[in-house]
Amino acid sequence: METVRMSDLDGKVTVITGGSSGLGKALGQAFINEGAKLVLAARNLQRLDAVANQLRSHGGHVLNVQTDVSRESDVAMLFEKTLKEFGRLDILVNNAGMFQSSSIEETTREMWQKTVDVNLTGPFLCTREAVKIMKRQRAGRIINIGSTCAQMPRPNAVAYNCTKIGLVGLTKTTALEGREFGISASCIHPGNVNTSMMTQTPDEPMMELDDVVRVVLTMATLPPQTNMVETIVLPVAQLYLGRG
C-alpha cells in the first residue's frame, strides 16, 4: 500500500498580508496546496474576495479579512477573526508593501510617511498581535518579506530602502524576544521579481514569483527548533553585488 505523506504545513493556520495580488496571492495558493488553513488580508476587498473564492473552489479553507495593515484597529480585528475562526495561529507572513520612486529632495513628508506606515508600521502591528497569540501557544513562525534594498539600496527609493532596513531590525528583535517561547522570525530579501511593483525597472533581469515562493515555503517548513534568520534570493544576472 502506498503511504500518503502529510505536508509539514498541513493544517497550519497561516496569515498572509497583501494577499490579493502578486507575491501574496502566489503564496496563498502555495500554502493552500500544502494543506494550510489560510487567512488572507488586503485592502482591496473586491480583489481579496476574488482570490479567496478561487482558492475555496479548489477545496481550500480560506478566511479573507479586509485589512489596512497601517491601521491599528484593522490589524487587531484581523487577528481576532483569525482566532475566532481557527483558534490558533501558526505562521504569519508579513508581505504587504508598497514602493514609490523619488529622489531624497523630491520625497515629500506624505510619501515618506505612507511608505513607512505600510512597509514598517504594518509588519510591526501584525507582529505584535501575532506574538501575543504565539507566546500563549509557545510556538509560531513569522516570515517578513524584505528586499535586497536592505543591503544594497537603490537610488531614488529613500523611503522604501529605509523601511526594508528597518524590517531587518524588527525581524531580529522578534527572533530574540520570541526564542524562549518557541517563536522564530525570518526575513527573505527578494531581488527583482516579475510583478506589477517592478514595472519601473523593465530592462533589469527578473525572476518569477514561484522562485520566491519556494524559498518562503522552505522557511515555513523548517523544524520548529530551526530558523533561517535571513536569506537573499535574486536573479543571477541582477546587478546586486558591486552595485553599492
Positions marked catalytic = 160
Distance CA 23, CA 95 (A): 8
Can you tell me the distance from the alpha carbon of 48 to that of 65, in angstroms, rounded to the nearest whole number? Answer: 8
Tell me the chain's radius of gyration from C-alpha atoms.
Answer: 17
Which of 202, 205, 179 has its CA nearest to residue 192? 205
Contacts of 234 (CB under 8 A, 6+ apart): 148, 190, 191, 192, 207, 240
Q: Dig out the grid coordinates for 31 from the structure.
A: 500554502
Say if residues 19 and 43 touch (Cβ distance below 8 Å): no
CA distance 228 to 143: 10
Residue 243: all three cell numbers together = 552595485
> How are strands ordered across the β-sheet holding 13-17?
62-66, 37-42, 13-17, 91-94, 140-145, 183-190, 230-233
